[in-house]
Every structure is written in structure tokens, then in C-alpha cells.
Amino acid sequence: MGNKNYTIKDIARMAGVSAGTVDRVLHNRGDVSASSLEKVRKVLDEINYQPNMFAIGLAAKKRYSIVCIIPYYMAYDYWYAVAGGIDRAAQELAPYNVTVNYIHYLHADEDSYRQACTQVLGEECDAVLLAPNFREETLKLTSALERKGTPYAFIDFNVEQTNALCYIGQDSRMSGYIAAKILMRHFREGQEVALFLNNQKQSPAEIQMQRRLEGFMQYLTENHVGLAVHDVVLDKQDADANRRTLDRFFDECPQAVLGVVFNSRVYQVADYLHATGRRMENLLGYDLLKRNVERLKTGEVDYLIGQRPAMQGYCGVKALCTHMVFKRPVTAMRYMPIDVLMKENIDFYFEFE
Amino acid sequence: MGNKNYTIKDIARMAGVSAGTVDRVLHNRGDVSASSLEKVRKVLDEINYQPNMFAIGLAAKKRYSIVCIIPYYMAYDYWYAVAGGIDRAAQELAPYNVTVNYIHYLHADEDSYRQACTQVLGEECDAVLLAPNFREETLKLTSALERKGTPYAFIDFNVEQTNALCYIGQDSRMSGYIAAKILMRHFREGQEVALFLNNQKQSPAEIQMQRRLEGFMQYLTENHVGLAVHDVVLDKQDADANRRTLDRFFDECPQAVLGVVFNSRVYQVADYLHATGRRMENLLGYDLLKRNVERLKTGEVDYLIGQRPAMQGYCGVKALCTHMVFKRPVTAMRYMPIDVLMKENIDFYFEFE
DNA sequence: CTGTTAGCGCGTTCAA
DNA sequence: TTGAACGCGCTAACAG
């Protein structure tokens, strides 16, 4: 195989033209005679020319700018962790003239999301890392980006029917399946299951929860036909309403001692249990928010499923760079490991590095 | 903040010396007067110099060769995973003219290990990644390397009193501690613990097991005084002898339903349980060997502790390069996460990328 | 000991 | 339309 690294000079020599001409046809910026073009094309067809990325980066004085569109966050919550991973990648890539900037939006707020999408099109950037929210807005953005030839990648949630460079996140369905498996680990006859759900059906994150639920139900269908499963709908904010809901539920369904919360607010249920002194046999939730971890340690929560937010951010930025800066192929789907955290191993868990 | 990208020329100008001198202190390759060194150091302290990686890559004519000394392996065993990580790093570093070669030895075979150590000194190489085995031989090798000025790093197991660039592996003591915590999770009064141990006291890996044992016992001391703990010594090879040992043990100690295997051969115990139809309440082992994973899935093994072999290989090679090629500081100790795998999440576990 | 210099491969002038 | 020349930032060799 021709594993030699050809340079532009090599090609120029082989084609009997100058390096400048080769460069012109490579970047088809015109002003090349038909005959020259022909000669260079011929050589290029025969060899496998791979431009030296170091030389490109150095000569072009090219600065790469990546914009990350993610929700606003507070210290130690989910998106805070994502941003941490992004920052780490940014630092690592700074020597390659890569700079990373953020555009934040209010999670599940359509106006805010639309505004973020509009803003990114205004700025000049070479690649976009997007934590998508509303489908329609997202599609508008991605097609605009495609028109501009700007590569983009999704993290956390995948929007199908786009041409994203890659998606990095968890296999939600599978994580639901595992949730069921773990929850049902110590199942004993007569026990029932509680699914704690959202009441904001319009939220885009709802789809992710839906997928988790699907996986969860699949496991039950396969292994526990006839099991009693209760839906308990909680509000994102209204603690009083939730307390009443839970009071009623636990009074009415004393057998429901196995519980799952498909959003990241298992602490809502756990705090209630903590306050009332009630106990469930097995309560499982998602994401290592501080409040969740506290309840894992105090024992109201038995399992937390982690989805490596920092690694998602890190890998997202890196993926865009391997494509854009290093010109190397990128895996289109990158599923994060499904970490299972318990009281016992939470202290020794650290996501990355 | 000084987010400007300083160049060597900038530094030279600021320090009032030439670029060559700056380069000399950056790579501390000597021949610099105390005063010049002082001046340059001063500037470097004040700014945050980040060398342009494109320029480094482009200018690099030097070819670096790294030799990795690790045990022979078979597909999908522990060292196979390590090699996978090494290969990935090798691929990533190829553009910087780094090549990686292997020298293999027979694990726990002193002659073979000695031969590998001798061989590496014969070859010309610029850095060594070593999975150490016998202490004396290792010390001979490392002092020889130090005399030659060749940097080396350890993976998997740390040999103290050397000047290794870094050690990358698990905190064995801590992993033993966690093992105990997990094992004792569902402890009920009257239950006893079985520690399955090696009979090859001369083995170098024995020290690692010793540390795991220490951590394990520490947890028991802190939380379960007076607990009955039995040592069961198994042979690495002799299945018949092991069967007799285990028969006798389980007959004599029916209460010993919690078990740990500190080496990576928990499958020995698990296979026995599988064959005889006996059960333990909770059996925990180390490393995701295929045979171990099988027994995790069939249920004889309840937990496996992973130590990210691939990441160790990857980080080891990378560390040597950040020191040797990129002349940047390296963290001396790099502890891998302590992964806890169960039947439920083993299928969705993948170590790294 | 120190400054100068010649590339590395490519993009970008600028004359011709 | 084309070729030649310069410089990106850094390394390494060389001359003082």
C-alpha cells in the first residue's frame, strides 16, 4: 500500500505543476487551466493524499470556535456536570486553537430555546454542540447549520432524522430496562410497584422519560406478568400537592414498596419518606444530583442510575474536534455506560479522570 | 486574564534572551547560564504558556519509541484489555512520531520476566511502560533505565522506592474496603465470611491481594467486630484439590455464606458452586474475565469489581508521552475508578470509549 | 553558554 | 493562469 505521506510538493512534482496550483485545485478556488487541473486530478486519483493537519493548523492560523448550547444550571446539578466536562475538553484543546463558548437557555422553555437557536446562527462558529429541547426548533436550527456546512452534535438526547455528526448520551430504553431489573432484584410475592411520573406532558424531556418507561415495562412484561403497577404523578415544584398525593398513595397502596422515579427528582419522594418516616423496600432514581446523593446516603434511595454528564460534554466537544480539527472519522452513536450507584460505592465513584 | 497565546518568541523578548535559550529551559536540556535561566523562569511563572500543538507536531522530526512490558494474554482476558488501551493510545500518538512496541512475559514466571527486562535494555527505546512482577528484577531494570535516563511508568501494580514517572492503577486497599462494604450489605446475624486465597505466596501479585485484604479487614474491624472469618486456600491450577478443599469447607462451615476472592479467579469458586448446586448468599470477585462474567450472569457471582485495564494502558502510554514528547508535568499517581458490576449492569458496561 | 538559522507542510500573498 | 516566496511556532543543529 502507498502508506507514504504525500505532501503538496510531491503532488506538484508528480503532476509537473507548482505547489500553488495543487493547492488551488485542492481547495477548488479557481484560476486553474483545464490541463493543469487534469494533471493534478490524475495524480490525486492515484495516490491517497492526506493533508498534514499540523501544517494546516499552523499555516492557516486557523482558530476553531465551538458553541455549546445547553440549559442554564446551578452548582452541582446535572448541567453543571456537563459543563464541567465541556470545560475540561476546552482546556485540553486550547493548544489547537480551539475556543469554546456557551449559549444557555431555560430548560423546557420554548421561547428561551428558540432565542438560543437564533443566536447561534448569528455568531460565527465552526461547530455546535447541542443539548436539544424542542423538536421543531431543533430541526430548523440543524437545517440552517447544514446549509452553512457547520457540523453539529447532540448530547443527552438524540433528535432523529437529522444529519448530526454524532449523538452522545445514554440508551434511555436500556437504562429503563436495567432500572426494572435492579428494582425487581429482591422482589417478593405480593409487592407492588410505583412509578413516579411528571405532570408536564409538553416537556421535551418527557420523551426521554417515555423511553425509560418503555424499557422498564418491557422488563416487567418479560418477567413479571400480572404485577400491579401504580402511576403516581408529581409536580415539579408544588411540594404541598406532592405531599398530599404521596400521603394518599401510600395509605391506599401499602403494598407498593418498590418505586422508580424516571426524572432526576427522586429526592422529592425520598424527602417525603425521610420526613414522614415511611420506608419503601427499594427506591430507584436517576442522576447524581446533590439532593439525590444525600438521600442515597441516608438510605431512602437505594439505587441511582448515572449517565456520566461530564463525559458527555467532554466527548461531545472532542468528537466535534476530531472531525473538524483532526479530520478523523467519528462514531455516530456513543452510548454512555449505565452506572449503578449504591450507598456502598457512591463515595468512590468519580465519573471521569 | 492573560488569555493571549504566548509564543516562544514572546517569551524570549520578555526575558531578554533568544528563542533558543527559551527552548533550552523549556525542555531543560542544559547549557543555560543561571542568570538566563532565572530570567526565563520568571517570565514563565507570570504567563500561562501553552505551546502550540500544531507547531510541535509539524516540527517534530524526532521519532519516539515506547516499549510496553506486559504479560502474555489471550483474547478477552485482563491483559488483552490493557493492550487494547495501549493500542488506542498508540494510534492517537502516531502523528507525533510515537511508536509503541511490546515485550511479553509469562505472568509470575521469574525467568520469563527477567528475560523481558533484559531484552528491553538491549533494544533502543525512549520510554518504558511496565507491568511489574518480581521486585528484585524490577529494581534492577529501573536502576538501569535511570542510568540511561529513560523514563518509565508502572501500571497495574506499584513498586515503591523507584523513581517512576507515574503509577497508574487501582487503590488496592480501598477496593478491598469497598469489597467488604458491598459484601456485608445484606449481612444477617449468624452469617460468616469466607476469604478465598492463593497458595502461591511467592507470587508478586500476592502483594496486591494483601493490600486488598487489608482494606477488607479494616472495614470489618470498623463495623463487624467478632465476625467469624475463614481463610480458604485454593490452588491456581489443581481443580481436583480445590474441589476437595471446598467440599470440606462448605460441609464444615455452613454459615459461611459470604465470600470474597481477592485474585481474579472467582470463577474457581463459582464453577464449583455451579457444579455442585451449592449457593452462597453473596460472592464477590475481581476483574471482568470472561469466565467471571459468565458466572456473574448465571448468578453464582454477585459482584465483580473492575479496575479499568484498558484505561490503565491508555493512560500509561499517554503519561509517558506528555512527559517525553510534550514536556509537560505528569501526575505521579493515577488511581482508576473502582467499578462495581452486577448481573444487572454488566452487559452495558464498557470501560472506555 | 548563546543567538541564529533552517526546515516541518501548508495557506497566502505577490509578481510575472 | 502560474510559480515563487514568505511565515505560522517550534525543534534542533550550528556557529560563534
Task: Please tell me the distance from the alpha carbon of residue A119 to that of residue B155, in angstroms, as a whole number.
Answer: 47
Contact A340 B342 (CB under 8 A): yes
> Cell for B118?
533484559
Give B255's contacts (C-beta < 8 A, 6+ positions apart). Answer: B190, B191, B192, B228
pTM over 0.85: yes
The answer to whether A76 faces chain B, any CB pair under 8 Å, is no
Phi/psi of residue A218, nearest 5 degrees: -60, -45
Task: Please tell me the distance from the alpha carbon of residue B57 to that of residue A97, in angstroms, as a whole number.
Answer: 14
Q: Which neighbouring-strand residues pair with A218? A: none
User: Smallest Cα–Cα separation from A157: which of A187, A131, A175, A190?
Assistant: A131
The beta strands (E) that lie in chain B are given as: 64-71, 98-105, 127-130, 152-155, 167-169, 192-198, 229-234, 256-261, 282-286, 303-306, 333-335, 339-341
Task: Please tell me the distance from the alpha carbon of residue A238 to that of residue B262, in angstroms, as a whole number.
Answer: 50
Task: Please tell me the distance from the alpha carbon of residue A29 to that of residue A12, in angstroms, as a whole number.
Answer: 17
Task: Please tell me the distance from the alpha carbon of residue B128 to that of residue B145, in angstroms, as a whole number.
Answer: 9
Q: How far is the CA of A22 from the C1' of D4 (A)?
A: 14
Task: Please tell me the distance from the alpha carbon of residue A133 to that of residue A69, in angstroms, as a whole number.
Answer: 10
Q: How far is the CA of B61 from the C1' of C11 (A)?
A: 22
A272-317 residue pLDDT tens:
999 999 999 999 999 999 999 999 999 999 999 999 999 999 999 9
Of B50, B95, B340, nearest to A94 by CB-CB distance is B50
Q: Are B235 and B263 in contact (CB under 8 A)?
A: no
B280-298 residue pLDDT tens:
999 999 999 999 999 999 9
Task: Give the CB-side neighbour count of residue B315, counting CA atoms within 13 A.
Answer: 26
Per residue of chain B (353 residues), what is the pLDDT tens digit? 445 789 999 999 999 999 999 999 998 877 888 899 999 999 999 998 889 999 999 888 788 999 999 999 998 889 999 999 999 999 989 888 899 999 999 998 999 999 999 999 998 899 999 999 999 999 999 999 999 889 999 999 999 899 999 999 988 999 999 999 889 987 889 999 999 998 776 677 788 899 999 999 999 999 999 999 999 999 988 999 999 999 999 999 999 999 999 999 999 999 999 999 999 999 999 999 999 999 999 999 999 999 999 999 999 999 999 998 888 889 999 888 888 898 878 877 876 54
Of A58, A338, A344, nearest to B54 by CB-CB distance is A58
Residue A347 pLDDT greater than 90, yes or no:
no
Residue A2 pLDDT greater than 60, yes or no:
no
Amino acid at B57: G
How distant, in Å, are the alpha carbons of A48, B243, B260, B271 from that of B295? 48, 17, 14, 7
Which nucleotide is nearest to B58 if distance is taken from CA to C1'? C8
Q: How far is the CA of B254 from the C1' of C2 (A)?
A: 80
Q: What does the CA dihedral B280, B284, B288, B290 come to, rounded to 10 degrees?
A: -20
Contact A54 B95 (CB under 8 A): yes
Q: Which pLDDT value is given to residue B219?
A: 95
User: Smallest Cα–Cα separation from A37: which of A51, A27, A47?
Assistant: A27
The answer to whether B258 faces chain A, any CB pair under 8 Å, is no
Which nucleotide is nearest to B54 if distance is taken from CA to C1'? D9
Nucleotides of D under 7 A from a protein CB: 1-5, 7-14
The answer to whether B181 faces chain A, any CB pair under 8 Å, is yes
CA nearest to nucleotide D12 C1': residue? B61
Of B52, B185, B337, nearest to A95 by CB-CB distance is B52
CA nearest to nucleotide D11 C1': residue? B59
Which nucleotide is nearest to A58 if distance is taken from CA to C1'? D8
Q: Are B164 and B323 in contact (CB under 8 A)?
A: no
B77-130 residue pLDDT tens:
899 999 999 999 999 898 888 999 999 999 989 999 999 999 999 988 999 999
Q: Which pLDDT value is given to residue A49?
A: 86
Contact B178 A345 (CB under 8 A): yes
User: Smallest Cα–Cα separation from B23: which of B7, B38, B35?
Assistant: B7
CA nearest to nucleotide D7 C1': residue? A59
Of A95, A181, A348, nearest to B344 by CB-CB distance is A181
Residue A353 pLDDT greater than 50, yes or no:
no
Distance from CA of A76 to the nearest CA of B (A): 20
3-state secondary structure B282-326: EEEEECCCHHHHHHHHHCCCCEEEECCHHHHHHHHHHHHHHHHCC
